[in-house]
Amino acid sequence: MPKIRDPEPYQMYIEARNRWRSKIAWQFTKDELTQILADVRAASDKGDWGARALLAHFYLYGLGPLPKNKVLDQDEFKSVAIARMAVEAGQPWGYYDVGVAHQYGYGGAYYDWDIAWAYYLRAAELGSPDAQMALAEAYRDAGRHDAEDKMIRCAYLQGHGPAATLLGRRARGQSHYMEALRFHQDAVKFGSKDSAAHLYLAFGSEAGESQREGLLTPLGLGIDMERYRRYLEIAEALDLNPDLRFGRLDLLLPLPPAELPEWRGIQDAMDPDPAGPPSY
């Protein structure tokens, strides 16, 4: 996203996005989704790129999963058209989204892997962690493991949750248990529900025995029900709202052997002044 945003449409977009993330999709009324869509469209018309990216997402998947609250049908052509506008403006997410469209052949973007990878490469160069992860997968399939690792770490250094989760799994597979634990902790900070679930299972009771044996037991750590409860609360919150980020996690939920401070809820661990939500 541009570093400078017009505050009026940006605020309209953020408020609409927060309302959209406040419930499970089927819980919304038609009136609620109608207002969310109207506000996102208005912010998009006023030039906010976050709103335009979210509108492209709505067109790609539709808005309202039930007949009683559906307010927008899927329209892949309109979604890709917005992404192409973003490409013209040099937006990394636009290059990535057009690359996905070419990889799978929808929205007027014909199926062509070479074109898709060209878009991914440009998106990665511009800083898209999603594109960097896509390239990492391609390098892995080509046997270029050094390049694969560099792409994953580029994404990780930008605060990409899936990249941190993957690095945690790899570190555990290499018996680097403390490093794996730290990667999973970082992944939770970056909004990874998978790592939050992995950690609450590992610190929990018998249900997480396999995760514990593969991560905590080699470090001399075992069941910790208070850590279990805190990671579980975070995982449940991320299940509803993947936009959440937990920049203060190490203060409120430090890794052992550090003692746990008072916990009044996940709000204390969240970023007090987030830079902004993910691209769409």
- Give rounded-to-5 percent helix, strand, coil for the chain: 65, 0, 35
Whether the predicted pLDDT of 274 surpasses 70: no
User: The tokens of 177 are what?
Assistant: 């248990």
Q: What is the mean pLDDT of the chain?
A: 93
Rounded to an integer, the average pLDDT of 157-166 is 96
**CA-to-CA distance for 17 and 280, rounded, in angstroms?**
10
Residue 279 has a pLDDT of 47
* Cα 237 to Cα 159, 196, 229, 270, 275, distances in angstroms: 19, 10, 12, 11, 19
- Other CB atoms within a 10 A radius of the CB of residue 108 amount to 12
List of residues 6+ apart from 129 with CB closer than 8 A: 154, 155, 158, 159, 160, 163
pTM exceeds 0.85 for this model: yes
Whether the predicted pLDDT of 241 surpasses 80: yes
Which tens digit of pLDDT belongs to each residue from 71-121? 999 999 999 999 999 999 999 999 999 999 999 999 999 999 999 999 999
3-state secondary structure of 132: helix
- Please report, rounded to a whole number, the percentage of residues in the chain having pLDDT higher than 70: 96
Whether the predicted pLDDT of 267 surpasses 60: yes
